[in-house]
Copies of this chain bind each other. A is one copy, B any other.
Amino acid sequence: MNVTFPDDLVDTTGGRIVLLVLDGLGGLPLEPGGPTELEAASTPNLDALARRAALGLHQPVGYGITPGSGPGHLALFGYDPARYNIGRGVLSALGVDFPLEPGDIAIRLNFATIDAQGRVTDRRAGRPSDDENRRLIAKLREGVQAPGGLKIFFESEKEHRAVLVLRGRALSAELGDTDPQEEGVPPLPVTPLSPDAAETAQLLQQVLDRSFEVLSDEKTANALLARGIDAYHPYPTFESRYRLRAEAIARYPMYRGVARLLGMETQPGSRDDAESIRRLKANFDRYDYHFVHFKAVDSRGEDGDFDAKVAAIEAVDALIGELDIQPPDVLVVTGDHSTPSKLRSHSWHPVPVMIVSQWVRPDPGAVFGERACARGELGIFPAKDLMTLMLAHAGRLAKFGA
């Protein structure tokens, strides 16, 4: 008998679980002897929680692997990111809150400029404004008819970026990019990468050809380049795997989109982090599992601003002071990956995590920081196993074997 952990052991009853994700939480010291952003931050509420928590560091994808936001969150939700690999087109569609249906093909588009000979002269069409982007998308929606049997959806992203979704029967995403990745050459034709994809390639080529006609009177954005072509296939849902009614609270659509991919319920984006916390408290009894996402910590890390990242962590700490989550409920605070301000980008470094529970072996002098977590009872462990630990601490996992 094969057993899948934790799915085959889940109980339908137990404590509630709250997962607070401070995006990009993990950091680095600016100098070898110095503190990280989290260590430098004054976090009285997180430190008090740390003294009744299991501490550790989670590894989002693997040793040395820097995760994007998609894999980082899937891992926290217990989905092995090497197996459940969200493609870029689908992630973009989720990021603009587009309601994907199973079998949809999602394609990232760049507005681009071509010359009279059809050669790409600017792969980003001079980075149009978001308003200009929306005007161009409206023009495409108006002018491009879908080929027979197909539905098509053009959606604005930001600047030169947009999304195209194809909906129809038996479509294939096994298509090469049309972006030539260099200037001075024409866009590539849509190329099927497998025999099954020949018909979809023809359909997409028709849509792109018609789009070029519609855009032909534009001065700069007179072409489209297609990239990251993916099919949307729903994943096994959170509820089917863990028997948890789950909600996601996030200000930014991409994080709500990843959560919806797993069947979590979402509301329109919170206006600010304080509203996210108020919603968590208001909905607390209506769900078994709450995922709350805080973006600013990552953004300040990507800005390369150590002090601003410290301040962003302190702001979340203050909000956490308003929560009072007690056993049998379980609170977890972590990040989806590290974003050290010294690196100005996501990184591969393991991420601090604490599980506040009655079933822990805490260090009475603990604080919440990278080095304290490295000495914690959880050690360094794969992020995809955090879900199992949360279920266990919430009393939601049966014994394995007699």
A residues with CB within 8 A of B: 1-3, 5-6, 9, 28-29, 32-33, 36, 51-52, 57, 61-72, 81-82, 85-88, 91-92, 228, 340, 342-343, 345-350, 358-364, 370-371, 374-382, 385-386, 388-393, 397-402
A32 and B402 contacting across the interface, CB-CB below 8 Å: no
Known: A32-B51, A400-B65. A375 touches B377 (CB 8 A): no
| Cross-interface CB contact of A6 among B29, B64, B359, cutoff 8 Å | B64
Beta-carbon nearest neighbor of A387 in chain B: B64
Task: Please list 18 pairs of residues, one from A and one from B, whose beta carbons are closer than 8 Å in the complex, sorted by A's number.
Answer: A6-B65, A28-B359, A32-B362, A32-B364, A63-B385, A65-B400, A66-B392, A66-B400, A67-B399, A69-B402, A71-B400, A81-B400, A91-B402, A228-B402, A346-B399, A349-B359, A349-B361, A380-B381
Chain B residues with CB below 8 A from A374, complex form: 361, 375-377, 379
B361 and A343 contacting across the interface, CB-CB below 8 Å: no
**Number of copies of this chain in the oligomer?**
2
CB distance from A107 to the nearest CB of B (A): 14
Q: How far is the CA of A381 from the CA of B343 in the complex (A)?
A: 24
Beta-carbon nearest neighbor of A379 in chain B: B380
A360 and B85 contacting across the interface, CB-CB below 8 Å: no
Known: A62-B388, A67-B401, A359-B28. A33 touches B364 (CB 8 A): yes
B363 and A340 contacting across the interface, CB-CB below 8 Å: no
A64 and B385 contacting across the interface, CB-CB below 8 Å: yes
Q: How far is the CA of A400 from the CA of B59 in the complex (A)?
A: 13
Beta-carbon nearest neighbor of A391 in chain B: B64
CB distance from A401 to the nearest CB of B (A): 4
Beta-carbon nearest neighbor of A398 in chain B: B66
A64 and B342 contacting across the interface, CB-CB below 8 Å: no
Q: How far is the CA of A183 from the CA of B345 in the complex (A)?
A: 61
Q: How far is the CA of A400 from the CA of B401 in the complex (A)?
A: 34
Most buried by B among A62, A343, A376: A62
Taking A32-B52, A64-B393, A374-B375 as known contacts, 19 extra A-B pairs with beta carbons closer than 8 A to each other, sorted by chain A number, are A1-B87, A5-B65, A6-B64, A32-B51, A33-B362, A33-B364, A63-B389, A65-B392, A65-B397, A67-B401, A71-B400, A71-B401, A72-B401, A86-B402, A88-B402, A91-B402, A370-B377, A374-B377, A375-B375
